[in-house]
A and B are shown apart, each in its own frame.
Chain A
Amino acid sequence: MLKQTEGSHAVAEAVALCRPEVICAYPITPQTHIVEGLGELVKSGQLQNCEYINVESEFAALSVAIGASAAGARAYTATSSQGLLFMAEAVYNASGLGLPIVMTLGNRAIGAPINIWNDHSDAMALRDAGWIQLFAETNQEAVDLHIQAFRLAEILSCPVMVCVDGFILTHAVERIDVPEQAEVDAFLPAYEPIQVLDPKDPVSIGAMVGPEAFMEVRYLEHHKQMRALDLIPELAAEFKAMFGRESGGLVRPYRLEDAETVVVAMGSVNGTIKDVIDDRRAEGDKVGALSICSFRPFPLEEVRAHLLGVRRIVVLEKSLAVGLGGVLASHVRMALRGRAQLVYTLIAGLGGRPILKKSLSAFLSKVETEPHADVHFLDLKNDVVERELVRASQQRRSGPTAENVLKHIGSPMAGLV
């Protein structure tokens, strides 16, 4: 049903349509509205045959989901930021055990300094934890990806993380088509586990594995993700056939024909990027965009194919690999191995810094002059950085950096509007 609703609420409805049997809830901004919405659906009886468990930490949230999933229940949880890091050990465990848990990640920065706003640092921190990571571009896609995620997770017996930009999507009220129960039931069959704790047929799950077998077990985990490279587009196509809209898939090209410059990015910022592309195309600039929906598995071949013949690639990413630059950019470079294409890393939107059309457009103009620098920071307040560097160089006890920077900047409202 088409409705004007909050992204989080729509995601909660979509998850409920997937008939989860165990939901673990622990609050962290900006994921809270999702688990609150699910709590309401369970308490009101709209979502039946579901155990909704208020746990004491994110570590417990995913651990309860692990137990539930291993015992044959369809399990779901949601988190953000510090919460994902707090459950990090269980994140690896869930994938290592091959449990098809689905988790929403309301993407948010990681402290210190503490920051509740959106970026992709959390997802990037656990990119190699063995989970499939899908990034939603819109709230419609966030809804649709959850439905696909359960199916994908259960076919492969591999956990899936659906990454939804915190606040920008989770708290946005938009027009969203929330599917009907019968449609979802037709797309997503009941969970049939490949392994289950059952007194009738006892198995040991989670035994110690030594050097003689560990490599093979790990390789098979990798193999699942390689299979996912085929499965993700198949499921997206099946989804389109059934629901009538494009959602998911590995990558999504936008106006790549004859493009000399292509912006590569993940998540909701692709909306802003598309507006910039349209504006610049209208002025005759040959630009396009490539949205990455599946970050894990990373679609090296598809990225390589779509960027064929492109002169320069701007990888806009909402996370910073401190001491290196960009995570996504290094992935794109791997996809382009052996080719002489210019790849620029554009770090943007850290800690919720708005990514503005005009700033992005200005950067695209600048990049056409082919600057030498590889890593750029969009709308970095260089004057503030300089002032703090000078101040810190003048005294040993210069104090906490974050507080000093805040003093240089002044009113916090200045950054909001």
Chain B
Amino acid sequence: MMFQARFHGRGGQGVVTAAEMLSVAAFLEGKHAQAFPSFGSERMGAPVVSFCRISEREIRLREPVLDPDVLIIQDATLLHSVDLFSGLKADGRVLINSPREASHLGIDEVIEKLPKGHVLTVPASELALKHIRRPLPNAVMLGGLAAIGGVVKIDSVIAAIRQAFPGAIGDANVAAATEAFEVVSAEQKEAVAC
């Protein structure tokens, strides 16, 4: 089985690095992984897409991720400007960077189509500001991702973050990602309980 993730964000938010870190986390678990950018404009603020595939076998496919298992949306302002949800699998999951609950984001149509608890939010920018003192949500979102779907373990995510950001910045990112992992784990429990 191949797992496919698609990251949406804006130039400067580390969208490409996020997909790369996820692939490293999978690699550390002995899996094959392929991360690549959408090769679009690299200008600050422009919409950016990146992709990550994870599999137990060698990944040969070179097309963009058209039918993702997970969408990671690093910038909620994109929700209504780009068709983010294109191709999302019927039982797919969505993780959005927002301090608000998913039901307050005007995407009820998407939420209704997916199984319960499959659209979650995490205040990644806020957590980043708190721990890293910069609104860089990418590593934080991966902490949240580790909490859903069993894609990669949080320990692997932490190791991948440390590879990408050594030293104090790495520590801060790890702290933020760990908190995001806890926030999303709690959210999931809540969603299942309801």
| Interface set of A (CB-CB < 8 Å, partner B) | 3-4, 6, 30, 116-118, 138, 165, 167-168, 171-175, 268-272, 274-275, 352, 354-357, 412-413, 416-417
Which residues from chain A contact B61 at a C-beta distance below 8 Å?
Answer: 271-272, 275, 357
Which residues from chain A contact B63 at a C-beta distance below 8 Å?
Answer: 272, 354-357
Q: Is B15 an interface residue (CB 8 A)?
A: no
Q: Are B66 and A356 in contact (CB under 8 A)?
A: yes
Which residues from chain B contact A173 at a C-beta distance below 8 Å?
Answer: 19-20, 23-24, 33-36
Most buried by A among B26, B35, B39: B39
Q: Is B170 an interface residue (CB 8 A)?
A: no
Q: Are B32 and A416 in contact (CB under 8 A)?
A: no
**Assembled-state Cα–Cα distance A171/B141 (Å):** 22
Q: A171-B39, A172-B35, A417-B66 are in contact. Are A271 and B24 (CB under 8 A)?
A: no
Closest partner residue, chain A, to B81 (CB atom): A413
Q: Are B62 and A416 in contact (CB under 8 A)?
A: no
Which residues from chain B contact A272 at a C-beta distance below 8 Å?
Answer: 60-63
Q: Are B64 and A175 in contact (CB under 8 A)?
A: no
**Assembled-state Cα–Cα distance A416/B51 (Å):** 12
Most buried by B among A138, A173, A269, A413: A173
Instruction: Determine how close the nearest CB of chain B comes to the CB of A176; give it in whole angstroms.
Output: 10
| Interface set of B (CB-CB < 8 Å, partner A) | 6, 19-20, 23-24, 26-28, 32-40, 47, 49, 59-64, 66, 82-83, 86-87
Q: Are A274 and B60 in contact (CB under 8 A)?
A: yes
Which residues from chain A contact B19 at a C-beta distance below 8 Å?
Answer: 173
Which residues from chain A contact B82 at a C-beta distance below 8 Å?
Answer: 413
**Assembled-state Cα–Cα distance A355/B64 (Å):** 9
Which residues from chain B contact A275 at a C-beta distance below 8 Å?
Answer: 60-61
Q: Show 16 residue pairs from A and B whose CB-CB distance is below 8 angstroms, ordered by the A residue.
A: A4-B28, A118-B39, A171-B37, A173-B19, A173-B33, A173-B36, A175-B33, A270-B60, A271-B60, A272-B61, A355-B63, A357-B61, A412-B40, A413-B82, A416-B49, A417-B6
Of the candidates A138, A165, A271, A416, the one whose C-beta lies within 8 Å of that of B40 is A416
**Assembled-state Cα–Cα distance A278/B51 (Å):** 23
Which residues from chain B contact A167 at a C-beta distance below 8 Å?
Answer: 36-37, 39
Q: Are B35 and A413 in contact (CB under 8 A)?
A: no
Q: Are B23 and A174 in contact (CB under 8 A)?
A: yes
Which residues from chain A contact B37 at a C-beta distance below 8 Å?
Answer: 167, 171
Which residues from chain B contact A354 at a C-beta distance below 8 Å?
Answer: 63-64
Closest partner residue, chain B, to A174 (CB atom): B34
Q: Are A417 and B23 in contact (CB under 8 A)?
A: no
Which residues from chain A contact B34 at a C-beta distance below 8 Å?
Answer: 172-174
Q: Are B64 and A416 in contact (CB under 8 A)?
A: yes
**Assembled-state Cα–Cα distance A191/B34 (Å):** 36
Instruction: Determine how close the nearest CB of chain B comes to the CB of A266; give it in whole angstroms.
Output: 13
**Assembled-state Cα–Cα distance A416/B47 (Å):** 11
Which residues from chain A contact B64 at a C-beta distance below 8 Å?
Answer: 354, 416-417
**Assembled-state Cα–Cα distance A167/B62 (Å):** 11
